[in-house]
Amino acid sequence: MKSVGIELRYERDALSPIHEGICSSPALERELILGGQAVDGVETITSFVDGDPAAYEPLIADRERVREYELTPAEDGFFLYLRQELGPEGISLLDALAQETVVVVPPIEIRSDRTMRLTLVGHPDDLGTILETVPEGVSLDVLWARDELTVSGSVSDRQREALEVARELGYYEIPRRNGIEAVATELECAVSTASELLRRGEARAVAGVLDGEP
């Protein structure tokens, strides 16, 4: 078996309505699809969204294909349970990318820069077939490849930016060269926002190291 981390970059016209909404709203950073299934033309997914539920709900509340949804606020964003009818082709994202010997390993990361990141696991030949078959309006980059099962990390772009700024300013030096106020100034955000970004990023980065993520 082989695992591959890929990034799909969408042209604006190829974005789904929900992905387009994530890209256009400053209150939404990304969505992590944690799992799902498609049965009889209806897809059910659960995901976690980094962002404001009030900014996300309009993206699904009035959509004709949405049958049911529920938003559950959490400290870092909110959880989403969504059931929606699939398009005329009747294929979910997980099914479209899978082959007989290939599976999509959650999470699927839907990002605000018009990209999507995910991990595929399976036979090398079938993985190669998927990588060579890309829909119109979408480009594909291989981020990494392993001979064993691994999963991509979960630090968001904004959290990574905050961590990098903090390191550059000497926030992690001993003794500390600059405090959280300098980090907030560089990020052009409130001190409380900078502190929260670092806290989340640090927690996820540590979890990634301890769990052996690439």
Between 17 and 106, where is the model more confident? 17
Q: Which residues have a Cβ under 8 Å from the Cβ of 64 and sit 6 or more positions away?
A: none
Residue 88: predicted pLDDT = 58
Residue 40: predicted pLDDT = 85
Q: Using CA atoms, how far apart are residues 93 and 185, in angstroms rounded to an integer?
A: 40
- pLDDT confidence of 97, banded at 50, 70, 90? low
Residue 212: predicted pLDDT = 47
Residue 81: predicted pLDDT = 97
* DSSP state string for 55-95: HHTHHHHT-TTEEEEEEEEETTEEEEEEEEE--TT---HHH
| Centroid of chain to Cα 98 | 18
What DSSP character marks residue 14? G
Q: Using CA atoms, how far apart are residues 166 and 159, in angstroms rounded to an integer?
A: 11
Q: How many CB atoms lie within 10 A of CB 7?
A: 17
CB 23 within 8 A of CB 146: no
CB 116 within 8 A of CB 140: no
Flag whether pLDDT at 90 surpasses 50: no
User: Nearest Cα to 153, choosing from 1, 2, 5, 3?
Assistant: 5
Ranges 4-8, 25-29, 84-88, 109-113: which has the least confidence = 84-88
Q: Please calculate the CA angle 6-8-12 and round it to the nearest 5 degrees.
A: 170
- pLDDT confidence of 214, banded at 50, 70, 90? very low
Would you say the pTM of this structure is higher than 0.95? no
User: Nearest Cα to 28, choosing from 69, 71, 63, 62?
Assistant: 71
| Centroid of chain to Cα 102 | 20
Flag whether pLDDT at 92 surpasses 60: no
pLDDT tens by residue, 12-65: 999 989 999 999 999 999 999 988 888 888 989 999 999 999 999 999 998 899
Cβ neighbourhood burial of 199 (10 Å; 0-12, 13-18, 19+)? middle
